[in-house]
Structure 1
Amino acid sequence: MRGELDPARTYARATCYCRDCQAFARFLGQAGVLDSRGGTDIVAIAPDGLRITAGSEHLACMSMGPKGLLRWYAACCRTPLANTSRDPKLYYTGVVSCVAVVPAALDAALGPRDRVAVNTGSATAPVKSSPLRLLLCGLHIFGPVIASRLRGRRAGAPFFDGQGRPSREPEVISREQRDALRRGGSS
């Protein structure tokens, strides 16, 4: 599977320490995606800023519950790709940066990895958070998302079809599976 990310379509960058991002990495058997404190580096991007150029037949989707985020990955190697809302009207995609670009290029385009830390209460070790940075990051993300909503833009390929349905049927895991993954087990 191969793709392209357009740096001009990025909103911001954050490291998410939520239990569900940690559980997603465990679900995939990709604990190396997490940093030493349990965080996942995410690049917030407009959905049209990401294109799959080869191997789209390997695209797969899961969710931690019937109303949870859609978490996309490459089924062939179980590499995490991105997170999206179930609502295609939310013009946002959170790309897991391990697949985005070379780390130095990402740092040059968006700043250092620990620019903004979110959901720090679930980190596996202490993480310094900054409410001001979080607010500024939120404005960088939600400003374009709201503007896109007002213009009627919808998320589309590769994650949604022309009717606004996920391009792959999500595998919704059970509450028991989710709880086991959150505790550090595997699926």
Structure 2
Amino acid sequence: MATELRCRCGQLRGEVDLARAHARATCYCRDCQAFARFLGQPVVLDASGGTDIVAAAPDAVRITAGAGHLAAMSMSPKGLLRWYAACCRTPLANTPRDPKVYYAGVVTACLAPGAVDATLGPRDRIVVNTGSATAPVQKASLRFLLGGLRIFGPVALARLRGRRSGAPFFDEAGRPARDPEVITRERRAELQRGDPG
């Protein structure tokens, strides 16, 4: 069941097979908040500073137009790769740097409105890193545990089978499809404090 992936200006387009999604999560970590500020897209964050993400197999994501606008950044030399559309700075996904870790966290802001709710449900979400939330967030320990199993089970199984991430995020040699911009420690701290710069 593919749903449209699209940047805000429409130059980068594609699709995500939500049938290959493992879980839906809202992440309140300071780096996800900093990423939204880096992009100048604080509207991506919910009222408590969370980013809505669909955990999926990386090859469930396809770019069908505007691949030249794909860009990446990272908060540190070893941090996650955070993918976005350079044309309008729409967040797309987060991936580990190691293509052997078969995971992509697709930011729902780039997906067709309502598609994620219709497929995965609006309420069955895992909440993570709530200590960095900017307002109170209700925790659900059992949902977190079950969601973690739904995410890390397929990742571990893919590793055992020797699967690795490929297009659109990595090339055949396992290198990132784009060289990421790695920001300085000082810039990361500014963004975490709320300075969009």
Do the structures match in fold with TM over 0.5? yes
Tell me by how many angstroms 1:108 deviates: 2.0
In the other structure, the counterpart of 2:6 is none
In the other structure, the counterpart of 1:69 is 80
CA gap 1:114/1:18 in 2 versus in 1, 3 angstroms: farther
Task: Summarize deviations over 1:110-150 as a string: whole Å, max 9, x none.
Answer: 12156211100000000011111100000111111111111
Unaligned 5+ segments in structure 2 are 1-11
Equivalences for residues 93-132 of structure 1 within 5 A: 93-103=104-114, 105-113=115-123, 115-132=125-142
Equivalences for residues 146-165 of structure 1 within 5 A: 146-165=156-175
Q: Is 2:35 the partner of 1:21? A: no
Instruction: Please state whether the residue corresponding to 2:25 is helix, strand or coil.
Output: strand
Distance in 1, matches of 2:185 and 2:119, equals 38
RMSD: 0.9
In the other structure, the counterpart of 1:78 is 89
Q: What amino acid does structure 1 have at the position aligned with 2:194?
A: G
TM-score (structure 1 length as normaliser): 0.97
Unaligned 5+ segments in structure 1 are none
Distance in 1, matches of 2:196 and 2:124, equals 27
Distance in 2, matches of 1:117 and 1:41, equals 9
In the other structure, the counterpart of 2:65 is 54
- Find the partner of 1:4 among 12, 15, 28: 15
Q: What amino acid does structure 1 have at the position aligned with 2:68?
A: E
Tell me by how many angstroms 1:45 deviates: 0.5
Tell me by how many angstroms 1:169 deviates: 0.3
- Find the partner of 1:92 among 103, 108, 124: 103
Instruction: Please state whether the residue corresponding to 1:68 is helix, strand or coil.
Output: coil
In the other structure, the counterpart of 2:177 is 167
Tell me by how many angstroms 1:71 deviates: 0.2
Contact 1:41/1:113 (8 A) holds in 2: no
CA gap 1:100/1:113 in 2 versus in 1, 3 angstroms: farther
In the other structure, the counterpart of 1:42 is 53
Distance in 2, matches of 1:9 and 1:101, equals 16
Contact 2:83/2:93 (8 A) holds in 1: yes
Instruction: Please state whether the residue corresponding to 2:151 is helix, strand or coil.
Output: helix
Contact 1:44/1:94 (8 A) holds in 2: yes
Instruction: Please state whether the residue corresponding to 2:35 is helix, strand or coil.
Output: helix
In the other structure, the counterpart of 2:155 is 145
Identity of aligned residues (%): 72
Instruction: Please state whether the residue corresponding to 2:77 is helix, strand or coil.
Output: coil
